[in-house]
Amino acid sequence: MHASERAPLRVALAGMVALAVAMGIGRFAFTPLLPMMLHDGVLDIATGSWLATANYAGYLAGALLYMALPWLARRAAAAVPGNAALARGGLVATVLLTGLLACPWPASWPLLRFVAGVASALVFLGTANWCMGQLARLGQPQLAGLIFCGPGLGIVATGLPTGAMVAAGWSAAAGWATFAALAALLCVGIWPVLRGREAPGAVAGASAAQALPAARPAALRALHALAYGLAGLGYIVTATFLPVIARAALPAGSVWPDLFWPVFGAGVALGAWLSTRIAPHRDRRWLLAGAYLLQASGIALGMLWPSPAGFALGSLLLGLPFTAITFFALQEARHQWPQSAAGFTGLLTALYGIGQIAGPPMAAALLAQAGSRAQGFDWALGVAGSVLVLGAGLYAFMAWRWRK
Protein backbone atom coordinates (compact mmCIF):
# COMPACT_ATOMS: atom_id res chain seq x y z
CA MET A 1 0.00 0.00 0.00
CA HIS A 2 1.42 3.40 -1.02
CA ALA A 3 1.83 6.22 1.49
CA SER A 4 -0.95 8.18 -0.25
CA GLU A 5 -3.31 5.27 0.34
CA ARG A 6 -2.23 4.74 3.95
CA ALA A 7 -2.81 8.35 5.03
CA PRO A 8 -6.64 8.32 4.79
CA LEU A 9 -6.81 4.95 6.53
CA ARG A 10 -4.57 6.20 9.35
CA VAL A 11 -6.88 9.18 9.84
CA ALA A 12 -10.00 7.01 9.91
CA LEU A 13 -8.45 4.48 12.30
CA ALA A 14 -7.22 7.27 14.59
CA GLY A 15 -10.74 8.65 14.72
CA MET A 16 -12.14 5.20 15.43
CA VAL A 17 -9.72 4.65 18.32
CA ALA A 18 -10.40 8.13 19.73
CA LEU A 19 -14.13 7.41 19.85
CA ALA A 20 -13.46 3.98 21.35
CA VAL A 21 -11.63 5.70 24.21
CA ALA A 22 -14.05 8.59 24.70
CA MET A 23 -17.29 6.65 24.30
CA GLY A 24 -16.51 2.99 24.93
CA ILE A 25 -14.32 3.68 27.98
CA GLY A 26 -14.97 7.23 29.18
CA ARG A 27 -18.71 7.11 28.75
CA PHE A 28 -19.90 3.49 28.69
CA ALA A 29 -17.41 1.53 30.84
CA PHE A 30 -19.74 2.43 33.71
CA THR A 31 -22.34 -0.05 32.44
CA PRO A 32 -20.32 -3.30 32.81
CA LEU A 33 -18.67 -2.02 36.01
CA LEU A 34 -21.98 -1.08 37.67
CA PRO A 35 -22.74 -4.67 38.83
CA MET A 36 -19.25 -4.85 40.35
CA MET A 37 -19.82 -1.55 42.16
CA LEU A 38 -23.15 -2.84 43.47
CA HIS A 39 -21.46 -6.04 44.65
CA ASP A 40 -18.72 -4.04 46.38
CA GLY A 41 -21.40 -2.07 48.23
CA VAL A 42 -20.00 1.30 47.16
CA LEU A 43 -23.37 2.39 45.73
CA ASP A 44 -26.95 1.25 45.18
CA ILE A 45 -29.21 1.35 42.11
CA ALA A 46 -30.52 4.83 42.91
CA THR A 47 -27.00 6.23 43.27
CA GLY A 48 -25.94 4.45 40.09
CA SER A 49 -28.86 6.07 38.26
CA TRP A 50 -27.78 9.52 39.37
CA LEU A 51 -24.16 8.87 38.40
CA ALA A 52 -25.37 7.87 34.93
CA THR A 53 -27.50 11.00 34.77
CA ALA A 54 -24.52 13.17 35.75
CA ASN A 55 -22.53 11.71 32.87
CA TYR A 56 -25.33 12.27 30.35
CA ALA A 57 -25.80 15.83 31.62
CA GLY A 58 -22.08 16.38 31.11
CA TYR A 59 -22.35 15.04 27.56
CA LEU A 60 -25.14 17.52 26.85
CA ALA A 61 -23.10 20.35 28.40
CA GLY A 62 -20.08 19.35 26.32
CA ALA A 63 -22.11 19.38 23.10
CA LEU A 64 -23.51 22.83 23.91
CA LEU A 65 -20.02 24.08 24.82
CA TYR A 66 -18.66 22.85 21.49
CA MET A 67 -21.36 24.73 19.59
CA ALA A 68 -20.78 27.87 21.67
CA LEU A 69 -17.00 27.95 21.21
CA PRO A 70 -16.99 30.27 18.15
CA TRP A 71 -19.23 32.75 20.01
CA LEU A 72 -17.16 32.51 23.20
CA ALA A 73 -13.95 33.05 21.22
CA ARG A 74 -15.38 36.19 19.60
CA ARG A 75 -16.43 37.53 23.00
CA ALA A 76 -12.97 36.87 24.43
CA ALA A 77 -11.13 38.01 21.28
CA ALA A 78 -9.31 34.68 21.27
CA ALA A 79 -8.69 31.94 18.74
CA VAL A 80 -11.09 29.03 18.58
CA PRO A 81 -9.37 25.77 19.62
CA GLY A 82 -8.97 23.38 16.70
CA ASN A 83 -10.94 20.15 16.51
CA ALA A 84 -7.79 18.05 16.94
CA ALA A 85 -6.76 20.08 20.00
CA LEU A 86 -10.21 19.63 21.54
CA ALA A 87 -10.07 15.90 20.89
CA ARG A 88 -6.60 15.62 22.41
CA GLY A 89 -7.58 17.57 25.50
CA GLY A 90 -10.73 15.49 25.91
CA LEU A 91 -8.76 12.26 25.60
CA VAL A 92 -6.30 13.32 28.31
CA ALA A 93 -9.23 14.24 30.56
CA THR A 94 -10.90 10.89 29.84
CA VAL A 95 -7.82 8.95 30.94
CA LEU A 96 -7.42 10.97 34.14
CA LEU A 97 -11.11 10.93 35.09
CA THR A 98 -11.41 7.19 34.47
CA GLY A 99 -8.43 6.59 36.73
CA LEU A 100 -9.81 8.84 39.48
CA LEU A 101 -12.94 6.68 39.71
CA ALA A 102 -10.70 3.96 41.13
CA CYS A 103 -10.16 6.17 44.20
CA PRO A 104 -12.48 5.64 47.22
CA TRP A 105 -13.97 9.13 47.05
CA PRO A 106 -17.69 8.50 46.38
CA ALA A 107 -18.62 12.10 47.13
CA SER A 108 -16.58 13.18 44.10
CA TRP A 109 -18.01 10.60 41.69
CA PRO A 110 -20.98 12.70 40.44
CA LEU A 111 -18.62 15.54 39.51
CA LEU A 112 -16.12 13.15 37.92
CA ARG A 113 -18.85 11.53 35.81
CA PHE A 114 -20.21 14.93 34.77
CA VAL A 115 -16.79 16.18 33.63
CA ALA A 116 -16.18 12.84 31.90
CA GLY A 117 -19.38 13.45 29.95
CA VAL A 118 -18.16 16.89 28.89
CA ALA A 119 -14.85 15.39 27.77
CA SER A 120 -16.49 12.58 25.79
CA ALA A 121 -18.70 15.07 23.93
CA LEU A 122 -15.74 17.25 22.99
CA VAL A 123 -13.80 14.21 21.78
CA PHE A 124 -16.78 12.90 19.82
CA LEU A 125 -17.54 16.18 18.05
CA GLY A 126 -13.92 17.28 17.64
CA THR A 127 -12.81 13.90 16.30
CA ALA A 128 -15.76 13.49 13.93
CA ASN A 129 -15.29 16.92 12.37
CA TRP A 130 -11.50 16.58 12.24
CA CYS A 131 -11.77 13.20 10.51
CA MET A 132 -14.36 14.36 8.00
CA GLY A 133 -12.28 17.40 7.10
CA GLN A 134 -9.06 15.43 6.74
CA LEU A 135 -10.65 12.63 4.71
CA ALA A 136 -12.39 15.09 2.39
CA ARG A 137 -9.06 16.77 1.64
CA LEU A 138 -7.43 13.38 1.07
CA GLY A 139 -10.18 12.41 -1.38
CA GLN A 140 -11.54 9.52 0.73
CA PRO A 141 -14.68 10.90 2.46
CA GLN A 142 -16.36 7.49 2.41
CA LEU A 143 -13.90 6.23 5.05
CA ALA A 144 -15.56 8.53 7.60
CA GLY A 145 -18.02 5.75 8.37
CA LEU A 146 -15.21 3.78 9.99
CA ILE A 147 -14.87 6.20 12.88
CA PHE A 148 -18.40 5.43 14.10
CA CYS A 149 -17.37 1.82 14.66
CA GLY A 150 -15.23 3.15 17.51
CA PRO A 151 -17.92 3.37 20.22
CA GLY A 152 -19.01 -0.21 19.58
CA LEU A 153 -15.47 -1.55 19.59
CA GLY A 154 -14.77 0.35 22.81
CA ILE A 155 -17.85 -1.19 24.40
CA VAL A 156 -16.61 -4.65 23.42
CA ALA A 157 -13.15 -3.87 24.82
CA THR A 158 -14.60 -2.90 28.21
CA GLY A 159 -17.43 -5.42 28.31
CA LEU A 160 -15.51 -8.63 27.64
CA PRO A 161 -12.87 -8.30 30.40
CA THR A 162 -15.39 -7.66 33.20
CA GLY A 163 -16.42 -11.32 33.29
CA ALA A 164 -12.82 -12.33 33.92
CA MET A 165 -12.50 -9.58 36.52
CA VAL A 166 -15.53 -10.89 38.40
CA ALA A 167 -14.24 -14.48 38.21
CA ALA A 168 -10.88 -13.35 39.57
CA GLY A 169 -12.52 -11.48 42.44
CA TRP A 170 -11.44 -8.03 41.30
CA SER A 171 -13.01 -4.95 42.79
CA ALA A 172 -14.69 -2.29 40.67
CA ALA A 173 -11.83 0.07 41.57
CA ALA A 174 -9.37 -2.32 39.93
CA GLY A 175 -11.59 -2.36 36.86
CA TRP A 176 -11.58 1.45 36.61
CA ALA A 177 -7.79 1.53 36.97
CA THR A 178 -7.37 -1.12 34.27
CA PHE A 179 -9.61 0.73 31.82
CA ALA A 180 -7.75 3.99 32.50
CA ALA A 181 -4.49 2.24 31.61
CA LEU A 182 -6.07 0.81 28.45
CA ALA A 183 -7.31 4.27 27.45
CA ALA A 184 -3.84 5.74 27.95
CA LEU A 185 -2.24 3.02 25.84
CA LEU A 186 -4.70 3.58 22.99
CA CYS A 187 -4.14 7.34 23.10
CA VAL A 188 -0.39 6.89 22.74
CA GLY A 189 -0.98 4.96 19.53
CA ILE A 190 -3.02 7.70 17.82
CA TRP A 191 -1.33 10.79 19.26
CA PRO A 192 1.01 11.41 16.28
CA VAL A 193 -1.92 11.25 13.84
CA LEU A 194 -4.43 13.44 15.68
CA ARG A 195 -3.23 16.84 14.49
CA GLY A 196 -4.73 19.78 12.63
CA ARG A 197 -6.16 23.25 13.11
CA GLU A 198 -9.75 23.06 11.87
CA ALA A 199 -12.02 25.01 14.20
CA PRO A 200 -15.49 23.87 15.30
CA GLY A 201 -17.99 24.60 12.56
CA ALA A 202 -15.38 24.63 9.80
CA VAL A 203 -16.71 21.45 8.21
CA ALA A 204 -20.39 22.15 8.61
CA GLY A 205 -20.70 24.38 5.62
CA ALA A 206 -19.40 21.83 3.16
CA SER A 207 -22.30 19.46 3.45
CA ALA A 208 -24.75 22.33 3.48
CA ALA A 209 -23.34 23.73 0.26
CA GLN A 210 -23.76 20.39 -1.47
CA ALA A 211 -27.43 20.07 -0.51
CA LEU A 212 -30.27 21.67 -2.40
CA PRO A 213 -31.93 24.52 -0.48
CA ALA A 214 -35.59 23.83 0.16
CA ALA A 215 -38.30 25.57 2.15
CA ARG A 216 -39.72 22.95 4.48
CA PRO A 217 -42.66 23.30 6.88
CA ALA A 218 -41.92 24.24 10.48
CA ALA A 219 -44.01 21.27 11.60
CA LEU A 220 -41.64 18.87 9.83
CA ARG A 221 -38.68 20.45 11.59
CA ALA A 222 -40.38 20.23 15.00
CA LEU A 223 -41.43 16.61 14.51
CA HIS A 224 -37.95 15.59 13.39
CA ALA A 225 -36.43 17.21 16.48
CA LEU A 226 -39.00 15.59 18.79
CA ALA A 227 -38.65 12.15 17.24
CA TYR A 228 -34.87 12.23 17.46
CA GLY A 229 -35.01 13.32 21.09
CA LEU A 230 -37.18 10.28 21.87
CA ALA A 231 -34.32 8.00 20.76
CA GLY A 232 -32.18 9.25 23.64
CA LEU A 233 -34.79 8.21 26.19
CA GLY A 234 -35.67 5.01 24.34
CA TYR A 235 -32.27 3.33 24.40
CA ILE A 236 -30.69 4.67 27.57
CA VAL A 237 -32.45 2.53 30.19
CA THR A 238 -31.23 -0.70 28.62
CA ALA A 239 -27.81 0.75 27.79
CA THR A 240 -27.32 1.79 31.43
CA PHE A 241 -28.70 -1.22 33.27
CA LEU A 242 -28.38 -4.17 30.84
CA PRO A 243 -25.97 -6.29 32.94
CA VAL A 244 -27.95 -5.58 36.12
CA ILE A 245 -31.25 -6.51 34.44
CA ALA A 246 -29.78 -9.72 33.03
CA ARG A 247 -28.28 -10.76 36.38
CA ALA A 248 -31.65 -10.30 38.06
CA ALA A 249 -33.45 -12.41 35.42
CA LEU A 250 -30.96 -15.28 34.98
CA PRO A 251 -29.85 -17.92 37.52
CA ALA A 252 -27.21 -16.86 40.03
CA GLY A 253 -23.69 -17.62 38.88
CA SER A 254 -24.53 -17.53 35.17
CA VAL A 255 -21.70 -16.25 33.00
CA TRP A 256 -24.08 -14.90 30.36
CA PRO A 257 -24.82 -11.46 31.89
CA ASP A 258 -21.20 -10.42 31.37
CA LEU A 259 -21.47 -11.13 27.63
CA PHE A 260 -24.62 -9.21 26.70
CA TRP A 261 -22.97 -5.79 26.88
CA PRO A 262 -20.14 -6.80 24.51
CA VAL A 263 -22.81 -8.22 22.17
CA PHE A 264 -24.46 -4.79 22.23
CA GLY A 265 -21.10 -3.18 21.39
CA ALA A 266 -20.49 -5.59 18.51
CA GLY A 267 -23.93 -4.68 17.18
CA VAL A 268 -23.08 -0.97 17.40
CA ALA A 269 -19.88 -1.46 15.38
CA LEU A 270 -21.60 -3.65 12.79
CA GLY A 271 -24.52 -1.24 12.45
CA ALA A 272 -22.18 1.72 11.95
CA TRP A 273 -20.45 -0.08 9.11
CA LEU A 274 -23.71 -1.23 7.50
CA SER A 275 -25.17 2.29 7.61
CA THR A 276 -22.42 3.47 5.25
CA ARG A 277 -23.46 0.87 2.67
CA ILE A 278 -26.99 2.27 2.21
CA ALA A 279 -27.65 4.16 -1.02
CA PRO A 280 -27.84 7.96 -0.59
CA HIS A 281 -31.24 8.21 -2.32
CA ARG A 282 -33.03 6.15 0.35
CA ASP A 283 -35.51 8.18 2.42
CA ARG A 284 -33.80 8.56 5.80
CA ARG A 285 -37.15 8.93 7.59
CA TRP A 286 -38.20 5.39 6.68
CA LEU A 287 -34.76 4.15 7.68
CA LEU A 288 -35.13 5.91 11.03
CA ALA A 289 -38.57 4.40 11.57
CA GLY A 290 -37.14 0.95 10.93
CA ALA A 291 -34.18 1.59 13.23
CA TYR A 292 -36.46 2.67 16.08
CA LEU A 293 -38.61 -0.44 15.67
CA LEU A 294 -35.47 -2.59 15.65
CA GLN A 295 -34.41 -1.14 18.99
CA ALA A 296 -37.92 -1.52 20.41
CA SER A 297 -37.88 -5.17 19.32
CA GLY A 298 -34.59 -5.67 21.14
CA ILE A 299 -36.08 -4.29 24.35
CA ALA A 300 -39.22 -6.43 23.98
CA LEU A 301 -37.18 -9.59 23.42
CA GLY A 302 -35.40 -9.18 26.74
CA MET A 303 -38.71 -8.65 28.53
CA LEU A 304 -40.72 -11.44 26.88
CA TRP A 305 -37.90 -13.98 26.56
CA PRO A 306 -35.65 -13.49 29.64
CA SER A 307 -33.16 -16.17 28.68
CA PRO A 308 -29.56 -16.14 27.42
CA ALA A 309 -30.77 -16.32 23.82
CA GLY A 310 -33.40 -13.62 24.36
CA PHE A 311 -30.99 -11.20 26.01
CA ALA A 312 -28.26 -11.88 23.43
CA LEU A 313 -30.53 -11.28 20.44
CA GLY A 314 -32.14 -8.31 22.16
CA SER A 315 -28.73 -6.77 22.86
CA LEU A 316 -27.73 -7.19 19.22
CA LEU A 317 -30.96 -5.60 17.95
CA LEU A 318 -30.57 -2.71 20.37
CA GLY A 319 -26.98 -2.08 19.30
CA LEU A 320 -27.30 -2.38 15.52
CA PRO A 321 -29.15 0.95 14.97
CA PHE A 322 -27.40 2.83 17.81
CA THR A 323 -25.02 5.03 15.81
CA ALA A 324 -27.01 4.53 12.58
CA ILE A 325 -29.86 6.55 14.13
CA THR A 326 -27.53 9.50 14.71
CA PHE A 327 -26.03 9.11 11.23
CA PHE A 328 -29.43 9.07 9.50
CA ALA A 329 -30.95 11.86 11.61
CA LEU A 330 -28.08 14.27 10.95
CA GLN A 331 -28.11 13.38 7.25
CA GLU A 332 -31.84 14.19 7.14
CA ALA A 333 -31.29 17.51 8.91
CA ARG A 334 -28.61 18.56 6.42
CA HIS A 335 -30.75 17.47 3.47
CA GLN A 336 -33.97 19.20 4.55
CA TRP A 337 -32.49 22.37 6.08
CA PRO A 338 -29.06 22.94 4.50
CA GLN A 339 -28.99 26.66 5.27
CA SER A 340 -29.37 26.12 9.03
CA ALA A 341 -27.87 22.66 9.37
CA ALA A 342 -25.27 23.56 12.00
CA GLY A 343 -27.76 25.15 14.39
CA PHE A 344 -30.39 22.49 13.86
CA THR A 345 -28.02 19.58 14.40
CA GLY A 346 -27.02 21.29 17.64
CA LEU A 347 -30.68 21.33 18.68
CA LEU A 348 -31.01 17.65 17.79
CA THR A 349 -27.96 16.82 19.91
CA ALA A 350 -29.39 18.77 22.84
CA LEU A 351 -32.79 17.04 22.68
CA TYR A 352 -31.14 13.63 22.42
CA GLY A 353 -29.07 14.52 25.47
CA ILE A 354 -32.17 15.57 27.40
CA GLY A 355 -33.76 12.21 26.60
CA GLN A 356 -30.67 10.44 27.94
CA ILE A 357 -30.72 12.52 31.11
CA ALA A 358 -34.38 11.70 31.77
CA GLY A 359 -33.96 7.93 31.42
CA PRO A 360 -31.99 6.86 34.53
CA PRO A 361 -34.01 8.98 37.04
CA MET A 362 -37.21 7.67 35.47
CA ALA A 363 -35.96 4.11 35.97
CA ALA A 364 -34.95 4.88 39.56
CA ALA A 365 -38.39 6.36 40.31
CA LEU A 366 -40.18 3.33 38.86
CA LEU A 367 -37.90 0.97 40.79
CA ALA A 368 -38.76 2.81 44.00
CA GLN A 369 -42.51 2.36 43.35
CA ALA A 370 -42.35 -1.25 42.18
CA GLY A 371 -42.84 -4.31 44.34
CA SER A 372 -39.56 -5.81 43.15
CA ARG A 373 -36.49 -4.84 41.15
CA ALA A 374 -37.62 -7.06 38.26
CA GLN A 375 -41.02 -5.37 38.14
CA GLY A 376 -39.44 -1.91 38.24
CA PHE A 377 -37.14 -2.71 35.35
CA ASP A 378 -40.07 -4.15 33.38
CA TRP A 379 -41.95 -0.88 33.84
CA ALA A 380 -38.92 1.19 32.80
CA LEU A 381 -38.25 -0.99 29.75
CA GLY A 382 -41.92 -0.82 28.80
CA VAL A 383 -41.77 2.97 28.81
CA ALA A 384 -38.53 2.93 26.78
CA GLY A 385 -39.95 0.56 24.17
CA SER A 386 -43.16 2.59 23.89
CA VAL A 387 -41.17 5.78 23.36
CA LEU A 388 -39.25 4.15 20.49
CA VAL A 389 -42.47 2.94 18.86
CA LEU A 390 -43.83 6.49 19.12
CA GLY A 391 -40.67 7.83 17.47
CA ALA A 392 -41.00 5.30 14.65
CA GLY A 393 -44.59 6.38 14.14
CA LEU A 394 -43.57 10.03 13.92
CA TYR A 395 -40.96 9.32 11.25
CA ALA A 396 -43.40 7.16 9.28
CA PHE A 397 -45.95 9.99 9.43
CA MET A 398 -43.35 12.51 8.24
CA ALA A 399 -42.35 10.28 5.33
CA TRP A 400 -46.02 9.85 4.33
CA ARG A 401 -47.11 13.47 4.87
CA TRP A 402 -44.08 15.18 3.30
CA ARG A 403 -42.96 12.93 0.48
CA LYS A 404 -39.67 13.79 -1.24
Q: Are residues 99 and 177 both part of a single domain?
A: yes
CA 14, 15, 18, 22: dihedral to nearest 10 degrees?
Answer: -170
d(CA 243, CA 165): 14
Q: Are residues 121 and 260 both part of a single domain?
A: no
**212: confidence class by pLDDT, cuts 50, 70, 90:** very low
d(CA 135, CA 129): 10
pLDDT digits (tens, 9 = 90+) for 67-100: 888 888 888 878 878 889 999 999 999 999 999 9
Q: Are residues 172 and 237 both part of a single domain?
A: no
CATH code (residue 105): 1.20.1250.20
Q: Are residues 176 and 217 both part of a single domain?
A: no
Q: Are residues 182 and 223 both part of a single domain?
A: no
**3: confidence class by pLDDT, cuts 50, 70, 90:** low
The type of residue at 258 is: D
Which positions ≥6 away from 212 have C-beta within 8 Å? 338
**Domain of 97?**
1-202
d(CA 244, CA 260): 11
Q: Are residues 124 and 215 both part of a single domain?
A: no
* Domain endpoint, select from 202, 219, 252: 202
Q: Are residues 117 and 213 both part of a single domain?
A: no
Q: Are residues 326 and 391 both part of a single domain?
A: yes
Q: Crossing angle for the helix pair 30-40 and 218-249, nearest 10 degrees?
A: 40
pLDDT digits (tens, 9 = 90+) for 384-395: 999 999 999 999
CB 327 within 8 A of CB 272: yes
Region 214-235: what's the mean pLDDT?
A: 86
User: Quick one: pLDDT at residue 342?
Assistant: 57
* Domain endpoint, select from 202, 222, 240: 202
Pick 144 or 54 by higher pLDDT.
54
Q: Are residues 110 and 178 both part of a single domain?
A: yes
Whether 337 shows a pLDDT value over 70: the answer reads yes
Pick 253 or 95 by higher pLDDT.
95
User: What's the pTM value of the predicted model, to 2 decimals?
Assistant: 0.84
Q: Are residues 257 and 198 both part of a single domain?
A: no
Whether 144 shows a pLDDT value over 80: the answer reads no
Q: Structural domain tally of the chain?
A: 2
